[in-house]
Amino acid sequence: MVRSIFLRGFDQDMANKVGDYMEDHGIKFIKKYVPKKIEQIKKGTPGLLKVTAHATEGSEIFQGEYNTVLLAIGRDACTRKIGLEKVGVKINEKTGKIPVNDVEQTNVPYIYAIGDVLEGKLELTPLAIQAGRLLAQRLYGGSKKKCDYVNVPTTVFTPMEYGACGYSEEKAIEKYGVKNIEVYHSYFWPLEWTVPSRDNNRCYAKVICLIPEKQRVIGFHVLGPNAGEVTQGFAAAIKCGMTKDLLDSTIGIHPVCAEIFTTLSVTKRSGENILQSGC
């Protein structure tokens, strides 16, 4: 059951491809509904549960019976009862998140915040650890290095992994304008999937480039096997200012999935065919 969109905060082109893949492999999504009541109608292992859900758009009601119900409800920022108001630290009253500047400083100059509690930042443990280390080095080690909250590699471990680093296509266009963005993309077919003729043209690669800066790569997205491993490697290159020309001049390792990023030539705006017939 999905209350609004898939993978909020991620590139929606990629998120919808994840959803399509899961649907084609037997996952049934109930879209734009929110569960309001769960009742046990039969005890046992498994038992039986009745779910009542309301539409997020309209007045429709959905009911279904299931053996198991798993709620992925996210997390809250528990900031309202720790005394922040006594020292004057401002929070977002709706979410409890804490606004900070680019050095994790709250509105009270001598109070800092790091991690998932930050407003508008990714909720990732490795990112919080890095931010904490850099903050300590700035406060006590004479460093001036700030945490990079944009070029953060991450992976969604869906049945086919989705790896991402940098801007989503939507965020890149919002920040730089559609005329300054070039998107290169392609489907690809992993070698191990070609023998059983499995899932051709479902894996997908996309890089988002900033045209005025020699097509510097500002967004990296991959949907396929081992996407996390692929993304972790390219993330270092993105941190170094990788451009499309540098990608093109890199020799690919045949026949691995990551090779596709060294041969991307079709732009989204061209509308040309990106389907692949083999590995």
Band (pLDDT 50/70/90 cuts) for residue 279 is low
Render pLDDT for 141-168 as a digit per residue (tens, 0 to 9).
Answer: 999 999 999 999 999 999 999 999 999 9
- Please give the backbone phi and psi of residue 103, each rounded to the nearest 5 degrees, phi first: -120, 25
State which CATH number among 3.40.50.2300, 3.50.50.60, 2.70.98.40, 3.30.230.10 fits the domain covering 76-151: 3.50.50.60
pLDDT at 276: 82
Average pLDDT value for residue range 31-45: 95
pTM summary value? 0.92
Segment among 64-73, 93-102, 181-190, 191-200 with least mean pLDDT:
191-200
pLDDT at 278: 66
Render pLDDT for 219-274 as a digit per residue (tens, 0 to 9).
Answer: 999 999 999 999 999 999 999 999 999 999 999 999 999 999 999 999 999 999 99
Q: Evaluate if residue 70 carries a pLDDT over 80.
A: yes
Domain extents in the chain: 12-66, 76-151, 157-270
Average pLDDT value for residue range 37-45: 95
Percentage of residues of the chain with pLDDT beyond 90: 92
Percentage of residues of the chain with pLDDT beyond 70: 99
Band (pLDDT 50/70/90 cuts) for residue 75 is confident
Note if 254 is an active site residue.
Answer: yes
pLDDT at 56: 96
Band (pLDDT 50/70/90 cuts) for residue 198 is confident
Residues contacting 128, CB < 8 A, separation 6+: 114, 115, 116
CATH code, residues 157-270: 3.30.390.30
Extract the tokens encoding 259.
């090779």
Q: Mean pLDDT for the chain?
A: 96
Average pLDDT value for residue range 41-54: 95
> Which among 72, 89, 71, 69 has a CA at the least distance from the CA of 80?
89
